[in-house]
Each structure stands twice: as structure tokens, then as C-alpha cells.
Amino acid sequence: MLPIVQISLDVTTIEEAIRTSELALRAGVDWLEAGTPLILSAGTQAIRELRARFPDTPIVADIKCMDGGYLEAEMMAQAGANSVVVMARAHPETLRVVCKAGRDYGIKIMGDNLGCPDMVAGARELQELGCEVVIHHIGYDERRGISARGEVAPTPMDQLREIVAAVEVPVQAVGGLTIEQAIQTPLYGAPLVVIGAPLAVNPERFEAAGGNLEQVLKQICDEVHAHGDVPVRRPLELS
């Protein structure tokens, strides 16, 4: 499948999310992600506002669902989201009902393996329970905590090839990637490239990063899109 660039709108106001989205789309970004801080701050209204402003752009609702899965996925779908994120550490029944909501409402379900003791096994389980995308995710707190102790924090790149080899669905690597790492993820077989903190968002204040963000995003989009087709055993159907 052709690589896709997604920007993570991990900001706390709808206004900031819309401003960031406008420049991101000008730069060539394909998907918008309503990040967890934005949804916690503004709820389904954040999804509704993004959908109204960008009617033809795919929107991912990163609710990190852990329980009440059908209702939460239903709410996001009705607000205008195209995809919803559920966590591998949730009960298997939660994953099943979120995936059922995905089928019922015609949205994609993305499964996140953050915090799994065995990240590869977590990715496999996400696929087995019906998720159409696997998010291989090293968390914000995990990275910061390990770095604060003077240790080398893990990155999604460490096990990315293993995750890609373990599943048939498209994979997305998330968690503190540098520009160079983000651009390289399609070479590892992961066609869904997400841009978030620290590239697009100031991780200290959860607001749009300073500097020429549009230029940085354009560089990333140009290079990622230039990769061409990335072999995926079960490509994501985008219709």
C-alpha cells in the first residue's frame, strides 16, 4: 500500500487543532488524529469541528479505549471519525465489541500495543481480535521516565521489524520518533507514518511546536510519499 502520513493533534484546544491541521494539510499530511489530550479537553465536539472544517480528510480518534468499547467507538463514529484506537491491554471482550462497532458503523479499528509485556504477542492478539491496523507504541511517560534515570529509552524502531513480520495488517510506529526515524518507517514495512511529539507538538505543554512546522511536515511528507508501494499482506481498504 502507498504510505500515509498522519499528524497527531495532541493539543488541548479545538482552535489550536484546526490551525495545526490547516498547515499540516498544506504540507501534504493525509490523515488527522484527534489526540487523546484534545479529546479529553473538548470531547466529541473536537471530532465534529474537525469533520466540519475538513469534510474529506480521514480523522483518527485516539481515545485509547479500555472499556465501554462499543459505546465509545459508536460516539466517535457518529461524531465523524473514520478510525478509533483501542488498547491491547483492554479485556479481549472490549476489543471484540470495538471491532463490532467498527463493522456496524463502517469505521476502521486501530489497536495499540502500548504497555504490553510482550509487544509482538500484543500485536498478534490485536490482529486476531479484529483490528485492521496495529500501532506499535512506546509511551510518553515510559520514554521520559527511563531517560530521567539516565538510561537509554526504547523507541518503536527497536522491534518494528518483528512487529511487521508478526502481523498481516498495516503497522504504525508511535513514540518520540525523530524526523529521520519517521521517514524510515516505510523501509521497515510500516506504511502508516505518524507525526507527533516532539516533531509537531511541544511535549512539555501539549501545544503546536514552534519553528517552521509546515516546512518540517512538508519534508517528511515528500520523503515518505516518495517511498512508493510498501508490501502489506492485508492492505487497509480506504473506501
| pLDDT of 176 | 85
Dump pLDDT digits (tens) for 132-153: 999 999 999 999 999 999 999 9
| pLDDT of 178 | 87
The CA-CA-CA angle for residues 74, 75, 79, to 5°, reads: 115
Spatial CB neighbours of 205, under 8 Å, sequence gap ≥ 6: none
- For residue 10, give Cα distances in angstroms to 21, 36, 140, 151, 197: 11, 6, 12, 26, 8
For 92, phi then psi, to 5°, come to -55, -35
pLDDT > 70? residue 46? yes
Per-residue pLDDT band at 229 (split at 50, 70, 90): very high
Q: Which domains does the chain have, with CATH numbers?
A: 4-225 (3.20.20.70)
| pLDDT of 200 | 58
Dump pLDDT digits (tens) for 91-103: 999 999 999 999 9
pLDDT > 70? residue 208? no
% of the chain with per-residue pLDDT over 70 = 93
